[in-house]
């Protein structure tokens, strides 16, 4: 009985870690939109977010390197090159596109588009890696994109904002970059472990955006109004550092399949946070679209978990 209680307690803790980690990640768009009100630019916001986050990821990288055993993956120059590409793609390119998209889209709609990345992983794997797609997976993809179409159909921004489709393209580009990062992670994550891999790729991305800012703005990061720094601190801790380790630990305890299903709360939490802190509204058909998108990702995650279970 004690073992059962312990198991249930461990599972419950893992669920809470993934749940609050997903909500933390989803709060990023809120911090960005609030900081934009004070005239901050996208590159500076990403740079400040990463500058505040970098010490923690470097510390985690140092710790994980100390704990690695002789059997762990040894990083050759070629593998370092791969890690640099993956870090730049996943948290530099994807982050910049995400931040830029929020100049033109509501936080709710941008998050909904970004959440299509699991379906992009599936499509890229099928087209370029020859992976076979089942009818269930086809249905999940169609469900997600019908949901996006419905969300677009009621978006007032289409008629009010000439830059709407630029925002859509940037948000979709962010999802595509992150999907490529996830596909590439498949080779290294199991061999390196979540902590070591995550801390190294995040550190690489942090350095990349700081170099970018130095080239474009000469690291002029100290002239913004005080609220910008508070929002960036919140973004660094509540929406970057803590969620990354919470979700990583949740994945370790639960597995990637269940964790991805729990993470489906992300877009809904963004919609709710945007309504509270930004005064954004979300129409009936947009809610229907959100449910379909999340349903498609949920179905995809469930099917993947079932397939992995049948192979064991």
| Amino acid 155: pLDDT | 58
141, part of any domain = no
Task: Count Cβ atoms below 10 Å from residue 135 Cβ, excluding itself.
Answer: 7
Overall domain count for the chain: 1
| Amino acid 255: pLDDT | 65
| Amino acid 195: pLDDT | 83
CA distances from 74 to 13, 35, 71, 86 (A): 32, 41, 8, 17
275, part of any domain = no
pLDDT digits (tens, 9 = 90+) for 2-48: 444 444 456 777 778 888 888 898 899 999 999 999 999 999 999 99
| Amino acid 239: pLDDT | 92
Distance spanning both ends of the chain, measured CA to CA: 28
Domain of residue 209, residue span: 17-132+163-254
pLDDT digits (tens, 9 = 90+) for 279-294: 887 777 778 888 888 8
1, part of any domain = no
**300/138 Cα distance (integer angstroms):** 9
Query: Is 0.85 surpassed by the pTM of this model?
Result: no
CA distances from 169 to 76, 94, 104, 141, 148 (A): 36, 12, 10, 18, 13
189, part of any domain = yes
Segments of the chain scoring below 70 in pLDDT: 1-10, 68-71, 153-161, 254-261, 304-305, 307-312
216, part of any domain = yes
Mean pLDDT computed over every residue of the chain: 83
């Amino acid at each position: 009985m004690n073992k059962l209680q312990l198991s249930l307690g461990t599972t419950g803790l893992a669920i809470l870690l993934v749940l609050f980690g997903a909500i933390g990640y989803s709060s990023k768009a809120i911090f960005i939109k609030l900081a934009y009100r004070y005239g901050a630019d996208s590159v500076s916001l990403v740079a400040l977010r990463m500058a505040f986050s970098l010490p923690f990821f470097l510390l985690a990288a140092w710790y994980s390197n100390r704990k690695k055993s002789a059997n762990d993956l040894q990083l050759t120059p070629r593998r370092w090159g791969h890690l640099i590409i993956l870090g730049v793609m996943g948290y530099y390119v994807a982050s910049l596109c995400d931040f830029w998209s929020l100049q033109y889209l509501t936080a709710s709609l941008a998050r909904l588009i970004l959440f299509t990345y699991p379906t992009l992983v599936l499509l890229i794997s099928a087209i370029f890696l020859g992976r076979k797609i089942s009818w269930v997976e086809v249905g999940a993809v169609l469900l997600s994109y019908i949901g996006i179409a419905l969300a677009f159909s009621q978006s007032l921004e289409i008629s009010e904002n000439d830059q709407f489709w630029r925002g859509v393209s940037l948000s979709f580009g962010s999802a595509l970059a992150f999907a490529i990062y996830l596909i590439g992670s498949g080779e290294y994550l199991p061999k390196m472990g979540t902590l070591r891999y995550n801390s190294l790729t995040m550190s690489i991305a942090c350095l990349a955006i700081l170099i970018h800012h130095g080239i474009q703005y000469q690291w002029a990061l100290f002239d913004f109004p005080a609220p910008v720094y508070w929002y960036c601190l919140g973004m660094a801790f509540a929406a970057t550092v803590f969620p990354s380790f919470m979700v990583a630990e949740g994945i370790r305890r639960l597995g990637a399949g269940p964790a991805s299903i729990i993470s489906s709360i992300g877009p809904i939490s963004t919609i709710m946070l945007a309504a509270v802190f930004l005064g954004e509204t979300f129409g009936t058909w947009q809610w229907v679209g959100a449910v379909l998108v999340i349903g498609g990702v949920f179905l995809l995650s469930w099917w993947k978990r079932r397939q992995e279970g049948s192979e064991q």
